[in-house]
Amino acid sequence: MIIVRLKGGLGNQLFQYAAARHLAHLNNTELFLDTSYFDFKQDRPAWKYELNAFNIKAEIAEEHLLKEFHAGKYSSSEKLISKIIPFHKYKKYKFEGFGFNEQVLELRGNYYLSGYFQSHKYFKPIADILIEELTMKEEFIPKTNEWLEDMKNKLSVAVHIRRCDYIRNLSSMEAHGLCSKDYYAKTIEFVKRELGEEVHFFLFTDDAEWVKREMEWDANSTMVQGKSILSDFYMMSNCKHNIIANSTFSWWAAWLNPNPDKRIIIPKHWDNNVKTEEIDLCPATWIIK
């Protein structure tokens, strides 16, 4: 069996699920999710388990199973050599770095995984399976939505502008940084040149007042406000094209966008000191700006 520790917001949970789902597929075994991280709210009270909104193929790991794996606890030696030396019949593997680590997909046997696994290479071979499993359940899909029809009928581009949770958390701000106003201005002009002046931009942000005050451009645009995280995610993935932030949330909305001709724009820095092109983060067809 494979157990993966889920942590972070929806985008991080999707990366963790996708990597573990591929490893379970390679091992022809069951996949379980450790959701215990969300029992402790002191760091990020807004974070919660979100994958129940999707048609995933995994079960929640019960407490007795987590105890058998000594889940979440890694000694120094286990961090270094758990792949090589099994300490007992249940093994653990932790990867905290950026990019694709091919060793993850070479693991065989019963494993507990921990990491962020932010690269499309972790799950590229099972992309078709994931596209089916990561469809949203009917009860979570917005039923009446004036914006959704516009997104389907217009030459729509989702623009994700993420600010508030990074600004409020100093460690996140230092690690991730914010996409600049210049990034959005340049990418919007690029998309207009590529797709034409009739393009319509739908703005998704957690800081609408700042966007209204600070960001101006000569383009047709609509601010999308007042919806849930899952509703925003669904709408972003149903636009025809995406301009994403350095955010796993908008990364996954773009990856799940079903438009075969989609244009996806991604910032050149994923974190402050991490270049997007150096970490195997996204498919080659995405445009780094």
Residues 6+ apart with CB under 8 A from 165: 44, 46, 172, 206
pLDDT higher than threshold 70 for residue 146:
yes
The C-alpha atoms of residue 103 and residue 184 are separated, in whole angstroms, by 36
> By mean pLDDT, which of 30-44, 157-171, 250-264 is the weakest?
157-171
- 126, 28 contact by CB (below 8 A): no
Q: What is the pLDDT of residue 133?
A: 98
Q: What is the pLDDT of residue 165?
A: 56
* Residue 173 binned pLDDT confidence (cut-offs 50, 70, 90): very low
pLDDT per residue as tens digits for the range 106-117: 999 999 999 999
Measuring CA to CA, which residue among 239, 212, 19, 17 is closest to residue 134? 17
Q: What is the mean pLDDT of the chain?
A: 88
Q: What is the pLDDT of residue 272?
A: 82
pLDDT higher than threshold 50 for residue 215:
yes
pLDDT higher than threshold 80 for residue 218:
yes
pLDDT higher than threshold 80 for residue 46:
no
pLDDT higher than threshold 50 for residue 269:
yes
Q: What is the pLDDT of residue 158?
A: 98
User: Considering the entire predicted model, what is its pTM?
Assistant: 0.91
Q: What is the pLDDT of residue 67?
A: 86
- 74, 92 contact by CB (below 8 A): yes
Q: Kindly state the tokens that stand for 178.
A: 């914010």
The angle formed by the CA atoms of residues 148, 153 and 158, to the nearest 5 degrees, is 55
> By mean pLDDT, which of 27-31, 80-84, 221-225 is the weakest?
80-84
- Helix and strand totals (H; E) in the chain: 11, 13
The angle formed by the CA atoms of residues 265, 267 and 269, to the nearest 5 degrees, is 155
Grouping H, G, I as helix, E, B as strand and the rest as coil, residue 67 is helix
Determine the length of the chain.
289
Measuring CA to CA, which residue among 103, 209, 113 is closest to residue 164? 209
188, 256, 96, 21 alpha-carbon torsion, rounded to 10°: -170
pLDDT higher than threshold 80 for residue 176:
no
Most confident range (mean pLDDT) of 57-71, 119-133, 202-216 is: 119-133
Output the DSSP codes for 185-236: HHHHHHHHHHH-TT-EEEEEES-HHHHHHH---SSEEEEE-S--HHHHHHHH
Q: What is the pLDDT of residue 142?
A: 85
Mean pLDDT on 32-43: 83
pLDDT higher than threshold 60 for residue 84:
no
* Residue 80 binned pLDDT confidence (cut-offs 50, 70, 90): very low
More confident residue, 169 or 127: 127
pLDDT higher than threshold 60 for residue 88:
no
